[in-house]
Chain A
């Protein structure tokens, strides 16, 4: 068995080096890649998002149908191809035919789809497209190429290359597609410092947040003498609104492992950790299998392929603290302490985990490495803008027609991403803003939609690349509410170590809360206090930015500062007119009773906590605006639909 594995790897290397392999081997590889299949194969997108859309039932119904009709076919759960809004996705690959992909195949649609396709007819189910033809595969007539689909056409897929296409639990398939070739070549060709130079030359920058050049960072750790060095893969992805790390791990776990092996070699680490959030059970499950398989193939462990190099990869589950995305906090968490950051220097690259040199890289950064090694630093550096190279994966969500994961070359305009790939705003509404970079980021408005995505341009408009979440907002979104949402999040997630962040964010949240509720008493100083709070909001934000210890605190006021910068008039409306134009801030709503509909049942008056409703039995009631606290209890209580909110 082991001999067979070595044979597989050696031959894959030969294929990649364009030296000859026997036609027999080539056929075997094609068979593993399922390009030449003897029996039909059905692929179902079963990442977390696919399962959320009902992929488990799709798989169950598919198996049921195959059994009833006695059809011999393989059912392969794959990761997410990135098109979340069309899930569940089901692909069929009949022998001798091209692979064809159908969208929105929920359990109830499986039977008719499979009956038709196995009877040689074109099913009625909406088709996404067919995959690129391999030799000897017959195309489906009248079906578009999947690469011509508006969602996929502008994309350049490096990190997501295999996601949703290959069987994530099969190391054989990964290898047959040229996997682990980059790692084995690296061990043969590069010295450690050459590898660091190579990656630095490619221009790869960290994809997790700040965007520090990866090769440069490695050099710090390489230059530090130590008996033990560590590599940590940060797969915590605490950033709400981003899910590319999860998708990569679920869809192509071996790519991450290969990237980690390369990075570990570059810095001379013999032990590596994957710090992954516990909310991603499926990703953890796939990683466990992948690590097991890699060990079996001799890619992990002692004396890897006779090179004398050792590497172990261990999974550490995060315990749910946003601050652990910060390097020093993450290290404390692995050490079994509270995840609190510490001042730098010393930087982790010099003194990190257990006091040893440690490099922390994000999932997407690591997943880029195999392709960079395979295709060359120049190839990678040719993509993108002058400061930001390669591609970036964005998670499109919110009020957009097509939600999902997109990978585009750096420099693509935000407008293209939202309108060309994402299909514009859902439901014909007007675009308002797109929130980028999560709680550390900011909003990009209509006026800045044409800026190219690269690290610097985004910073210039007050947003941030961050981990790549893109949450689209339309006219029904209240920007003050969005700012409040982020402040609430950060206030809860602040580790509490330094005062500006702990107390400052709480104060900011209080101010935002006061302007999104109606002043209770007009005679007191409350309205004045509201106003004063807003005046201080900006200054408070700047102080927190300047005086906080770690990245979390230093970026904590960003959502507020950014919305203040671009949507000041909305803040002013909330403060002066006590109005929320989007109708989101419930406490600013004004309630009134429709006299025509009111029957005088007194239910609302009984429910009102402030006795703001007056009226006698069997005659229409009336709300005293000054007493009303806009809780909405009356509206809920009314059985005659007589209470209106504006």
Chain B
């Protein structure tokens, strides 16, 4: 894992403070989350204490500190989605997967995250699974969507 981080850090020789967020973003892109070791390694490279890095990373919604599932579900909770019932969709999803926002299911298959707005308000309510969009989600269609992903594994 640290090989991956080293590879990323190589792209930032003599990096300053302002490279911190792009580096963290790249680390999360590659390994799915910010592990403790990777944060320490980034800290060494930028000459910053790990506490300071955690301070910045926890401020932003994007960063995760636990391993996400194989399928990462983002539920849009923008205004348009809310008005068209995304709260119910979120509730249903929590029930279906038996996890809350920010958690990963036990079989490591699904993880979910509430996001502010995906920007597809015309098709609300929207969820995105590994970047794949599903529009006009209802509690019924949600069951099928999740079932489809489960079947992909079987």
Contact = CB atoms under 8 A, between A and B. Distances in A.
Interface in B1-23: 16-22
A404 B120 CA distance: 9
A477 B19 contact: no
Nearest to B15: A336
A339 B20 contact: no
B17 A397 contact: no
Nearest to B25: A317
Contacts of B122: 49, 84-85, 87, 243, 395-397, 403-404
A506 B115 CA distance: 20
A544 B121 CA distance: 30
B71 interface: no
B83 A473 contact: yes
Interface stretch (B52-60, B104-112, B140-148): B52-60
Interface string A237-263: 111111100100000000000000000
Given A243-B119, A403-B122, A495-B59, A337 B134 contact: no
Interface in A499-544: none
B21 A243 contact: no
Contacts of A208: none
B61 A319 contact: yes
Name the residue in B82, B115, B131 with the highest tally of chain A Cβ atoms < 10 Å from its Cβ. B82
A597 B111 CA distance: 40
B79 interface: yes
A399 interface: yes
Contacts, number: 145
B40 interface: no
Interface in B53-100: 55-56, 59-63, 74, 77-84
B131 A337 contact: no
Name the residue in B60, B61, B84, B122 with the highest tally of chain A Cβ atoms < 10 Å from its Cβ. B122
Contacts of B80: 240-241, 397-398, 403, 471
A297 B60 CA distance: 37
A320 B76 CA distance: 13
A321 interface: yes
Interface residues on A, range: 35 or more
A279 to B, nearest CB: 6
A51 B56 contact: no
Nearest to B19: A336
A198 interface: no
A495 B59 CA distance: 8
Contact of A469 (B115, B121, B123): B121
Contacts of B24: 319
Interface residues on B, range: 35 or more
B124 interface: yes
Given A52-B133, A317-B25, A335-B18, A241 B123 contact: no
A337 B56 contact: yes
A278 interface: yes
Given A239-B117, A339-B59, A319 B25 contact: yes
A87 B123 contact: yes
A342 to B, nearest CB: 15
Contacts of B117: 237-243, 279
Given A238-B117, A319-B60, A397-B122, A335 B25 contact: no
A278 B25 contact: yes
A240 B56 contact: no
Given A317-B22, A336-B18, A471-B79, A397 B124 contact: yes
Given A319-B25, A333-B21, 14 more contacts: A240-B81, A241-B78, A242-B117, A242-B119, A243-B117, A243-B122, A246-B119, A279-B115, A318-B62, A320-B60, A482-B82, A482-B83, A489-B116, A495-B59
28 contacts: A48-B118, A48-B120, A49-B123, A84-B121, A85-B122, A240-B117, A240-B121, A241-B80, A242-B117, A243-B117, A243-B121, A243-B122, A280-B119, A281-B131, A317-B22, A319-B21, A319-B61, A321-B61, A395-B122, A397-B80, A398-B80, A398-B121, A398-B124, A403-B80, A471-B80, A471-B121, A489-B116, A493-B116
- 7 residue pairs, one from A and one from B, having the closest CB atoms: A84-B122, A240-B78, A319-B60, A320-B61, A52-B133, A397-B80, A403-B122
